[in-house]
């Protein structure tokens, strides 16, 4: 273990490992020193000078990101000298920065706005700004560049070079003409490229997907886990008027650091689908009829308790652990021989080269480990073949659209968010919530079970699948319910 160094920052005694920067040591006592070019995921550049602080016995203010702590050091963050230095940097940056906040997507989460407000730079001495580039450049599939707003912190350049390890961006030109450029023939189309938009401290790099969609202060933010693959990246679901409009990474050093891939970032449209099942449906005289939950659950329990041979479960590895465990209990309650399987959509693995053990994984579902732990197998084709002749088939949240024909000649109990054509022959159809509309957990590929929270109101009468399956179990005759693990 490295030696600990004692110092004083803004009157607080701090102890941190030797080699720690003043900026990181200050975080330990709850002081955030303003900064632009510094980011803990990137090599230190020390170029923006926004983190200047006063260090006793030092003739000039020092950059906190690039100055390691030393024993007995006394650092002042809010002194007149330190503030004057940072205000001068802000005035310098604002010479070249257009004040187009009212039409900028970054307004409300812009570090130039925040620090200007915090440091008290009320006005500059320049009447106009001289930068006059084309307003917008197309950098890649989801990234736009607005050069006039760029403060040349080079976070985006260093991310592509050191983290994605695919140098795509550079600082083109020099002096007051400097701007970010794309190498000839290259495009910002790396599968993790969208992270440059998060890293940009101002509104210079923008997401095309989010462009002009919402003011950020109108967004509600909910902690969630990405459903895109088995990595289990931590995310924030951002909603407006009950619709998910943006997905952002939520830092977790053990899983995804500060990043998410573009597939996870942009693959949220299905959470807002409008063609949802909104009421429980039961088959009466050849027709599907909407009914109250009590009626539907009683009918579902009747099907499960009927005892005409083992049941087959076809489940989704996108369902929560709670739902999958409850589905396993319902199958057990049906009796011996009942079992289930799942299938996983596959895709190419896309690592983020500079971060160990972080990749868009080949298995594009969040809860493969959870499905296996609940007792479901990967023998999907065999399960589908058995389903044809089974007395009861339980489908949980698994789209049947890929199957050319109805899944069974027996009774189908379908729990899902939408109703594919091939499930229209079901006896009971129960509407469940999607990951944005419920609480639950997924187990990622390293065995880490992670909780997600509810971000939007479910449509109509939809309920979490875990609640539905437990309610079916509760409605079963006592003996069958005991077999399913309910006392």
Which CB sits closer to ligand SF4, 55 or 237?
237
Size of the site for ligand SF4 (CB under 6 A): 27
Q: Does 155 bind ligand SF4 (CB under 6 A)?
A: yes
The one segment of 19-27, 122-130, 147-155, 291-299 that binds ligand SF4 by CB under 6 A: 147-155
Q: What Å distances lie between residue 339 and 119, 200, 379, 396, CA to CA?
A: 63, 50, 11, 13
Tokens encoding 281 = 């449906």
**Interaction of residue 360 with ligand SF4, rule CB under 6 A:** yes
CB of 373 to ligand SF4, least distance (A): 18
Q: Out of 226, 330, 396, 419, point to the residue binding ligand SF4 (CB under 6 A).
A: 226
370 binds ligand SF4 (CB under 6 A): no
In angstroms, what is the minimal distance from the CB of 218 to ligand SF4? Answer: 23
Closest to ligand SF4 by CB, 76 vs 361, is 361
Under rule CB under 6 A, residue 233 binds ligand SF4: yes
In whole angstroms, the minimum distance from the beta carbon of 104 to ligand SF4 comes to 12
- With binding defined as CB under 6 A, does residue 150 bind ligand SF4? yes
Compare residues 23 and 146 and give the one whose CB is closer to ligand SF4: 146
SS3 7: strand
160 touching ligand SF4, by CB under 6 A:
no
Binding flag, residue 314, ligand SF4 (CB under 6 A): no
| 205 near ligand SF4, judged by CB under 6 A | yes
Q: Which stretch binds ligand SF4 (CB under 6 A): 24-32, 116-124, 194-202, 311-319?
A: 194-202
**CB of 232 or CB of 340, closer to ligand SF4:** 232
Dihedral of CA atoms 325, 326, 327, 332 in degrees, nearest 10, equals 90
Sequence-distant (6+) residues with CB within 8 A of 184 are none
Residue 360, strand partner residues? 350
Q: What is the Cα Rg of the chain in Å?
A: 28
Nearest distance from residue 193's CB to ligand SF4, in Å?
Answer: 12
What's the Cα-to-Cα distance from 131 to each of 93, 102, 287, 466, rounded to whole Å? Answer: 11, 19, 67, 57
Could you say which residues in the range 238-257 bind ligand SF4, by CB under 6 A? 256
Given the complex with ligand SF4, which of 14 and 50 has the nearer CB atom? 50
Q: In whole angstroms, how close is the CB of 156 to ligand SF4 at the nearest point? A: 3
Shorter beta-carbon distance to ligand SF4: residue 90 or 360: 360
Q: Please tell me whether residue 152 binds ligand SF4 under the rule CB under 6 A.
A: yes
Q: What tokens appear for 2 in the block?
A: 């490295």
Contact indicator for 436, 224 with CB cutoff of 8 Å: yes
CB of 146 to ligand SF4, least distance (A): 8
261 binds ligand SF4 (CB under 6 A): yes
When the beta carbons of 77 and 260 are compared against ligand SF4, the nearer one is: 260
Residue 156 interacts with ligand SF4 (CB under 6 A)? yes
- Cα pseudo-dihedral 40, 45, 51, 57, rounded to 10: 110
- Under rule CB under 6 A, residue 440 binds ligand SF4: no
C-alpha span between 419 and 290 (Å, rounded)? 14
Torsion angles phi and psi, residue 210, rounded to 5: -95, 0
Using alpha carbons, select from 294, 254, 312, 276 the residue that is nearest to residue 444: 254
Determine phi and psi for 162, rounding to 5 degrees.
Answer: -100, -30
Give the N- to C-terminal CA distance of the chain in Å, as an integer: 51
- Strand 74-76 vs strand 4-9: parallel, antiparallel, or unpaired? parallel
**Cross-strand partners of 394:** 313, 413
- On whether the CB atoms of residues 207 and 140 are closer than 8 A, the answer is no
* Contacting range for ligand SF4; rule: CB under 6 A; set: 119-127, 153-161, 330-338, 394-402: 153-161
Nearer to ligand SF4, 49 or 334 (CB): 49
Alpha-carbon span 464 to 319, nearest angstrom:
10
Query: Measuring CA to CA, how many Å separate 199 from each of 66, 122, 203, 220?
Result: 19, 26, 10, 21
d(CA 276, CA 457): 13
Contact 387, 402 (CB under 8 A): no
Nearer to ligand SF4, 156 or 430 (CB): 156
Using the rule CB under 6 A, is 94 a contact of ligand SF4? no
Q: Catalog residues that contact ligand SF4 under the rule CB under 6 A.
A: 150-156, 180, 199-202, 204-205, 226, 228-229, 231-233, 256, 260-261, 263-264, 360-361
């Amino acid at each position: 273990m490295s030696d600990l160094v004692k110092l004083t920052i803004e009157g607080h005694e701090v102890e941190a490992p030797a080699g720690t920067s003043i900026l990181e040591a200050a975080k330990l006592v709850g002081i955030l020193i303003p900064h632009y070019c510094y980011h803990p995921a990137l090599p230190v550049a020390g170029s923006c000078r926004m983190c200047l602080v006063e260090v006793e016995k030092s003739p000039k203010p020092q950059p906190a990101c690039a100055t390691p702590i030393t024993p007995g050091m006394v650092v002042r963050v809010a002194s007149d000298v330190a503030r004057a230095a940072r205000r001068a940097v802000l005035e310098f940056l604002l010479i070249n920065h257009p004040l187009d906040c009212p039409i900028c997507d970054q307004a409300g989460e812009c570090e130039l706005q925040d620090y200007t407000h915090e440091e008290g730079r009320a006005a500059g001495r320049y009447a106009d700004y001289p930068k006059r580039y084309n307003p917008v450049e197309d950098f890649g599939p989801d990234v736009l560049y607005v050069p006039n707003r760029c403060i040349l912190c080079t976070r985006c350049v260093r991310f592509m070079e050191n983290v994605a390890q695919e140098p795509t961006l550079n600082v083109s030109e020099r002096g007051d003409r400097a701007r970010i450029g794309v190498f000839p023939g290259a495009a910002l189309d790396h599968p993790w490229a969208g992270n440059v938009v998060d890293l940009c401290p101002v509104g210079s790099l923008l997401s095309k997907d989010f462009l002009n969609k919402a003011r950020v202060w109108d967004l509600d933010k909910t902690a969630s886990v990405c459903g895109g693959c088995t990595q289990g990246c931590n995310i924030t679901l951002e909603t407006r008027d009950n619709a998910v409009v943006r997905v952002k990474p939520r830092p977790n050093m053990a899983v995804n650091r500060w990043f998410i891939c573009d597939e996870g970032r942009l693959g949220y449209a299905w959470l807002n689908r409008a063609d949802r099942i909104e009421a429980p449906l039961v088959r009466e005289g050849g027709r599907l009829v909407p009914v109250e939950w009590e009626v539907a659950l009683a009918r579902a329990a009747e099907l499960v308790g009927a005892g005409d041979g083992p049941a087959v479960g076809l489940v989704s590895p996108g369902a929560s652990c709670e739902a999958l465990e409850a589905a396993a209990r319902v199958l057990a309650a049906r009796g011996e021989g009942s079992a289930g399987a799942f299938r996983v959509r596959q895709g190419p693995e896309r690592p983020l080269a500079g971060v160990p053990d972080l990749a868009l994984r080949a298995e594009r579902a969040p809860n493969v480990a959870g499905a296996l732990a609940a007792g479901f197998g990967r023998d999907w084709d065999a399960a589908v073949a058995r389903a044809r002749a089974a007395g009861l088939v339980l489908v949980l949240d698994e789209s049947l659209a890929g199957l050319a024909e109805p899944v069974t000649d027996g009774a189908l109990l379908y729990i899902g968010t939408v109703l594919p054509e091939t499930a229209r022959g079901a006896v009971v159809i129960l509407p469940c919530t999607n990951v944005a509309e419920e609480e639950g957990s997924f187990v990622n590929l390293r065995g880490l079970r992670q909780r997600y929270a509810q971000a939007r109101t479910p449509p109509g009468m939809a309920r979490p699948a875990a609640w539905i399956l437990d309610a079916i179990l509760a409605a079963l005759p006592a003996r069958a319910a005991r077999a399913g693990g309910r006392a």
